[in-house]
Amino acid sequence: MTPTVRVETPGDDGVALVTIDRPERHNAIDLETAAALAATWRAIRRDDAIRAVVLTGAGRRAFCTGIDRSVRVPQPASPYAIDDPLLTIGPKANDLWKPVVAAVGGMACGGAFYLLGECEFLIAAASATFFDPHTTYGMVSAYEAIGMAQRMPFGEVARMALMGTAERLSAARAHETGLVSEVVPDGEAVAAALRAAAVIADYPTAAVQGTVRAVWSAREAARAQALAAAPQLIALGNAAPELQARLFAARTRDHRVR
């Protein structure tokens, strides 16, 4: 079976490049890829040669488009519980406190925010776009919106989550709102992220990881409270899977980029 997550181990600079490698599916995450991402972060946590990480998606069309629509995850009947395979795909969910820089090209949407929400900062190609399709398809944007609320002004998060597929946030607008730290020409996001990661990796490891942990501690309490409510909101607000599928099949390609 072809691996869906590629890891290029570092040379002397201590930077690993992690690539979601499903370009034919816009780097959407199936169950195999979700497990591979979790295993990758755990392996990096134990590898002292890796001091910083760059995360990207293969190809130019998408960084990641969230969960693969072909995946079926049976849900418990209780509104107090939910099975979500994306909850463990991020570095922080796997107790990795080495800095992770995201290099975003093409689309980043939906479940991609599980990953982007757990990176230290984002570098985007000029043509990159960000959007959240959940409401369009009768789904609650909970974990995604909570992650982005840690990075963007409230109104911007609310607009992106509520407008669904009708709007996409341009890289320029994402930079203005603080979601993206740098915008570079198309095709240069990975190189720019690798340069930044190499600078960080050259600093004393304990100081770097301590800084990452300190920055995250500033928002953990509010984030934990918000995440605790997410399963019930999803269970109560999501449309039936059959309606979701019909809405997805009826989707249009029309959207506005702002």
The CATH number given to whatever domain includes residue 64 is 3.90.226.10
The answer to whether the beta carbons of residues 108 and 54 sit under 8 Å apart is no
Domain span at residue 56 reads 5-187+223-257
- φ, ψ for residue 71 (rounded to 5)? -75, 135
> How do the pLDDT tens digits run along the chain, 258 residues long?
578 999 998 788 999 999 999 999 999 999 999 999 999 999 999 999 999 999 999 999 999 999 998 887 776 777 676 778 899 999 999 999 999 999 999 999 999 999 999 999 999 999 999 999 999 999 999 999 999 999 999 999 999 999 999 999 999 999 999 999 999 999 999 999 999 999 999 999 999 999 999 999 988 777 888 777 887 787 778 888 888 888 888 788 788 788
Given the structure tokens 């603080």, which residue do they identify?
178
The answer to whether the beta carbons of residues 71 and 85 sit under 8 Å apart is yes
What is the model's pLDDT at position 54?
Answer: 98
Backbone torsion region of residue 26, taken as left when φ is above 0, otherwise alpha when ψ lies between -120 and 50, otherwise beta: left
Is 198 a member of any domain?
Answer: no
| Domains identified in the chain, total number | 1
Record the pTM: 0.91
What is the model's pLDDT at position 1?
Answer: 56
* Dihedral angle, C-alpha 17, 23, 27, 30, nearest 10 °: -110
Is 66 a member of any domain?
Answer: yes
Helix (H, G, I), strand (E, B) or coil at 96: coil
Is 214 a member of any domain?
Answer: no
Is 217 a member of any domain?
Answer: no
Is 68 a member of any domain?
Answer: yes
Is 200 a member of any domain?
Answer: no
Q: CA-to-CA distance for 55 and 88, rounded, in angstroms?
A: 16
What is the model's pLDDT at position 232?
Answer: 76
Structure tokens at 175: 């930079």
The answer to whether the beta carbons of residues 132 and 109 sit under 8 Å apart is yes
Is 195 a member of any domain?
Answer: no
Q: CA-to-CA distance for 227 and 93, rounded, in angstroms?
A: 12
